[in-house]
Amino acid sequence: MWDRLRRDFDVGYIDEDIVDVLELIFRREHSFTISSCSGRITILDGPMPWDRKESTIVFKKHSPVSLDEVVNVLKQPVLYCLWLIVSGPIIHVVSDSLGEALEILRIAREAGMKHSGILSISDRGVISELRTGIRLSILLKIRNDVVIDLSRLKSVIDVANNALLEGKERLRRLREALIRTGRQ
Amino acid sequence: MWDRLRRDFDVGYIDEDIVDVLELIFRREHSFTISSCSGRITILDGPMPWDRKESTIVFKKHSPVSLDEVVNVLKQPVLYCLWLIVSGPIIHVVSDSLGEALEILRIAREAGMKHSGILSISDRGVISELRTGIRLSILLKIRNDVVIDLSRLKSVIDVANNALLEGKERLRRLREALIRTGRQ
């Protein structure tokens, strides 16, 4: 699984912000990661942000966005609604025992990833999701009508970028908590 | 716990939309609920929606909101940002075994509550959170600047109300799944 992760990283599937955190989890004897995101800003066209079937991602970035980038996306025609989504970091971990999964959850919660929990338990292991409560879904357009006052768009983007950075900060805390726990 | 729930319901702590679903969970031999929300629209004043310490809820309703209600809230002065939050149903369940918790999670996922998971495992039982991915956080004001184009506010509220109703629909599906499973 580690070789696979390195390969994915080398071809650019994994963002740099998170690879060392994944490595720290892999170094634990009884856990490894299966998917992850360091936090990102996406703009998607869809009826609702959670409606994956009908939605199309039109923009995606793992670092702060600029006014120009959003203005460019706003110019394009929209089928449903245009949502600017900020999501915090998220990591899926497989552990070989319940005890190890609960320990990983404890570390994650301590680092501010308070929406973490166990998703499934089977012969193949315990799958946990490490997640923060950081999430924004800002409505930009309904069909082709911009709903944000354009003179305020810069401030709205500042709020979105701050939310993204708050997510990266939780990732930094998780990294430190994992190093601290690994040393014990 | 059931007597406590009835008391809470009688004094108005529990919304009507969800009390029969809670009853269906209580009827299972090995589970009961400890907290719940049928889905709601809140407007809060805070730096970010997840920042509970600094935030104040200025409006809360478990059914669709009207343009007038939102316009009234918009008139009030704001300390940080004004967020219109739509959240789907959420139920916390305690089960007396892992097997029962996994069965409840299976039922919840089948009913479209796909973000459900186990939060903790201890001598006092297994605590699960049943949750959908339904959540909107629409930015209305930054300090005292309205960021939504007021001529589009009605359409924005329609989208928020539709999201709320989508949550209530998942609750209906959970109710049916619980009845179906209870009969087996």
Residue A98 maps to a domain: yes
Q: Coil, helix or strand for B49?
A: coil
Q: Is ipTM over 0.85?
A: yes
pLDDT digits (tens, 9 = 90+) for A127-144: 999 999 999 999 999 999
Residue B169 maps to a domain: no
CATH number at residue B80: 3.30.1960.10
Mark out the alpha helices in B63-140 (DSSP H runs): 67-75, 98-110
Taking CB atoms and an 8 Å limit, are B138 and A139 in contact across chains?
yes
In this structure, are B50 and B24 located in the same domain? no
In this structure, are B140 and B125 located in the same domain? no
How close A158 gets to chain B, by Cα (Å)? 11
In this structure, are B47 and B15 located in the same domain? no
Report which DSSP code applies to B80.
S
Q: Amino acid identity of B163?
A: A
Nearest to A41 by CA among A138, A173, A142: A138
In this structure, are B47 and B78 located in the same domain? yes
Residue B3 maps to a domain: yes
pLDDT digits (tens, 9 = 90+) for B79-123: 999 999 999 999 999 999 999 999 999 999 999 999 999 999 999
Residue B173 maps to a domain: no
Domain range for A143 is 2-178
Beta bridge partners of A81: A46, A142
Taking CB atoms and an 8 Å limit, are B134 and A159 in contact across chains?
no
Residue B181 maps to a domain: no
In this structure, are B4 and B28 located in the same domain? yes
Are the C-beta atoms of A124 and A94 separated by less than 8 Å?
yes
pLDDT digits (tens, 9 = 90+) for A75-90: 999 999 999 999 999 9
Number of structural domains in chain A: 1
pLDDT band at B183 (very low <50, low <70, confident <90, very high): low
CB contact residues (below 8 A), chain B span 19-58, against chain A: 48-50
Nearest to A93 by CA among A107, A77, A75: A107
CB atoms within 10 A of CB B140: 19
Beta bridge partners of B38: none
Q: Kindly state the tokens that stand for B63.
A: 């059914």
